């Protein structure tokens, strides 16, 4: 067995762990980082960028949002059911963190909204290929990794941590296994756990939320997030607290069927498995709200029905709902998406000349769906949605006359899980009596308990933002603890 010693051990090298390791280095602490994967960055490799509030970038772009406004939006959104001090500390730090990243060499494309009703808090990393979209944050991960190493952090890849070492109620190290299978006992004055939640652990998802992974729940596949850090912290005495999923909605295998996913999430006709509408489709830009509504439907799924005429309209005039992740250019590639779906035998896309035929394919009662469509088209004619009050501008009749009907089957999904342990503004992990467990800290999604019941997409960039800022917060607190 190998033995190691350092000031602080960071469990995992996602954005939270990297931020913690850099902060430790800035405070002259020696950090050892154990990462299970063969690369650093975790889920941030797939993402676009973190939240910032009151940044110079926002001010320069005339998109500024004050700390007071953001705090008010967030606390009202969560009905004050979250730790206000933790939220305030994170939000307050977020502008400085954007500059901190810039000082390291991270460049940002700007500050963006996710959808119209959101604020421009999303600081998207300047993408290497010039195209703003998924994976833009890759360069940030590389720069953070280099910075951590430059400041003395030793990063061990393919080295999963297996347990925490507790002595006299204090966390004093970890046991890990290196890539050759050799056991490691590493000791330190403090440990920061940041393993990103349990979005990939089917058993825990079932136990905690009753969800069946890849059956009625189709999240992004983020390998490695299996809840290991949470289990270790619970075992060490941390209270179980606030686990949730970052609920969204998407097509099954959405990354392989991205064009269809992008085009079919417009405010057309969204029905459940019983062929009935259940929300104002104008909310479809807010993937959390729509995910929540789909979650309540039979089978936790919904079908967005359009026709080719509407797809062509969107291709020519732009969609009703703009968002950056699913750019309007996707409409030009709709037929390519259809071709790919047919070639791969994809079961998340449907098309037919008549609504009854479409209903048969989707397993919906044809008469009910035909009735729903007729009623919907009458509301479009009248320019009044008396059922769910959708904006009149979105009320576009769907007739299937020019090219037939098209539909996508949307499921609830997630970027991952959030929460599981409770931390204070210093990142100290709390026990059931809300007392810190000495030497044990957490950052990132493992301890992200600031959204209440639903992810706050109105302030986008929020989870990567929380990950990086809470990593810094924990790193700073560990420096104080070690120097005490
Ligand atoms: C497709 C996609 C796009 C996204 N886009 C955005 C975005 O633009 N903005 C935003 O705010 N958020 C975004 N997110 C969410 C964001 O990426 C995450 O919230 C963030 O990465 C969480 O950081 P973390 O460090 O807590 O955990 P993660 O990034 O999940 O990293 C956890 C790390 O822990 C490692 N690990 C697990 N167990 C162990 C163990 N036992 N020992 C050692 N290592 C272990 C894993 O290998 C992994 O590297 C996106 C997520 C996805 C999936």
Q: What is the pLDDT along the chain (484 residues), one digit of tens a residue?
A: 999 999 999 999 999 999 999 999 999 999 999 999 999 999 999 999 999 999 999 999 999 899 999 999 999 999 999 999 999 999 999 999 999 999 999 999 999 999 988 999 999 999 998 888 889 999 999 999 999 999 999 999 999 999 999 999 999 999 999 999 999 999 999 999 999 999 999 999 999 999 999 999 999 989 899 999 999 999 999 999 999 999 999 999 999 999 999 999 999 999 999 999 999 999 999 999 999 999 999 999 999 999 999 999 999 999 999 988 898 999 999 999 999 999 999 999 999 999 999 999 999 999 999 999 999 999 999 999 999 999 999 999 999 999 999 999 999 999 999 999 999 999 999 999 999 999 999 999 999 999 999 999 999 999 999 999 999 999 999 999 998 8
Q: What are phi and psi of 388, to 5 degrees?
A: -130, 5
Measured in Å, residue 324 CA sits from the centre of ligand 1 at 20
Is residue 270 in contact with ligand 1, taking CB distance under 6 Å?
A: no
CB of 34 within 6 A of ligand 1: the answer is yes
Q: Is 467 in the pocket of ligand 1 (CB under 6 A)?
A: yes
CA of 12 to the centre of ligand 1 (A): 10
Q: Please give the pLDDT value at position 323.
A: 87
**281 within ligand 1 shell (Cβ under 6 A):** no
Entry pTM: 0.97
- Show the tokens assigned to 399: 């007739």
Q: How far is the CA of 199 from the centre of ligand 1 (A)?
A: 10
Assigned CATH for 2-201+223-239+422-483: 3.50.50.60
| 471 C-alpha to ligand 1 centroid (Å) | 12
Ligand 1: residue of 34, 38, 39, 44 to mutate (most ligand atoms within 8 A of CB) is 44
Return the structure tokens found at 321.
């709902």
User: Does domain 247-412 match CATH 3.90.700.10?
Assistant: yes
pLDDT at 131: 84
Which protein residue's CA is at the shortest distance from atom 36 of ligand 1? 195
Residue 132 pLDDT: 87
Q: Is 184 in the pocket of ligand 1 (CB under 6 A)?
A: no
Q: Where are the domains of the chain?
A: 2-201+223-239+422-483, 247-412
Give the whole-angstrom CA distance, residue 483 versus residue 85. Answer: 24
Task: Return the ∠ at Cα 294 (arms to 293 and 295), rounded to 5°.
Answer: 90
Closest CA to 228 of 189, 188, 201, 190: 201
Ligand 1 atom with minimal separation from the 219 CA = 53
**What stretches of 280-354 show up as alpha helix (H) in DSSP?**
287-295, 308-317, 334-343
- State the pLDDT at residue 231: 98
What's the farthest any 2 CA atoms get from each other in the chain?
75
Pick from 196, 451, 458, 473 the residue to mutate for probing ligand 1's pocket: most ligand atoms within 8 Å of its CB: 196
* Tokens representing residue 23 in the block: 């902060």
Running DSSP on this structure, what letter comes out for residue 434?
A: S
Query: Quick check: CB of 410 below 6 Å from ligand 1?
Result: no
Contacts of 412 (CB under 8 A, 6+ apart): 211, 216, 217, 218, 247, 248, 249, 291, 294, 295, 300, 301
pLDDT at 110: 97
């Amino acid at each position: 067995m190998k033995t190691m010693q350092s000031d602080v051990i960071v469990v995992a090298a996602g954005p939270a762990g990297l931020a913690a390791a850099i902060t430790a280095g800035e405070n002259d602490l020696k950090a050892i980082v154990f990462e299970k994967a063969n690369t650093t960055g975790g889920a941030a490799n797939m993402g676009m960028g973190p939240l910032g509030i009151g940044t110079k970038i926002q001010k320069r772009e005339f998109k500024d949002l004050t700390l007071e406004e953001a705090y008010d939006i967030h606390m009202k959104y969560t009905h004050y059911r979250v730790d206000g001090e933790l939220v305030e500390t994170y939000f307050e730090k977020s502008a400085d963190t954007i500059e901190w990243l810039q000082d390291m060499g991270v460049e940002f494309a700007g500050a963006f909204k996710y959808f119209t009703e959101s604020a421009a808090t999303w600081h998207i990393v300047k993408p290497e290929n010039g195209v703003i979209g998924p994976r833009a944050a890759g360069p940030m991960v590389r720069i953070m990794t280099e910075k951590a190493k430059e400041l003395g952090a030793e990063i061990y890849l393919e080295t999963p941590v297996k347990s925490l070492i507790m002595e006299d109620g204090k966390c004093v190290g970890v046991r890990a296994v290196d890539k050759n299978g050799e056991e490691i006992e590493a000791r330190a004055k403090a440990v920061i756990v940041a393993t990103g939640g349990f979005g990939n652990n089917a058993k825990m998802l079932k136990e905690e939320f009753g969800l069946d992974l890849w059956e009625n729940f189709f999240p992004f596949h983020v390998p490695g997030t299996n809840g290991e850090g949470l289990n270790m912290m619970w075992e060490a005495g941390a209270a179980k607290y606030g686990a949730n999923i970052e609920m969204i909605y998407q097509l099954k295998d959405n990354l392989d069927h991205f064009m269809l996913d992008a085009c079919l999430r417009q405010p057309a006709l969204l029905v459940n498995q019983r062929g009935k509408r259940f929300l104002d489709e104008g909310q479809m830009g807010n993937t959390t709200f729509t995910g929540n509504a789909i979650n309540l439907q039979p089978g936790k799924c919904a079908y967005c029905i359009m026709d080719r005429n509407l797809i062509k309209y969107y291709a020519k005039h732009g969609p009703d709902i703009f968002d950056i992740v699913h750019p309007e250019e996707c409409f030009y590639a709709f037929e390519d998406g259809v071709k790919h779906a047919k070639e791969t035998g994809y079961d998340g896309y449907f098309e037919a000349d008549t609504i009854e035929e479409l209903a048969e394919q989707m397993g919906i009662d044809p008469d009910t769906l035909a009735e729903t469509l007729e009623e919907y088209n009458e509301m479009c004619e009248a320019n009044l949605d008396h059922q769910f009050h959708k904006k009149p501008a979105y009320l576009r009749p769907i007739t299937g006359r020019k090219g037939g009907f098209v539909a996508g089957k949307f499921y609830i999904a997630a970027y991952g899980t959030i929460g599981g342990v409770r931390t204070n503004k210093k990142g100290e992990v709390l026990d059931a009596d809300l007392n810190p467990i000495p030497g044990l800290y957490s950052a990132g999604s493992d301890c992200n308990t600031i959204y209440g019941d639903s992810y706050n997409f109105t302030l986008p960039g929020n989870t990567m933002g929380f990950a990086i800022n809470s990593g810094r917060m924990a790193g700073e607190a560990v420096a104080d603890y070690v120097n005490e």
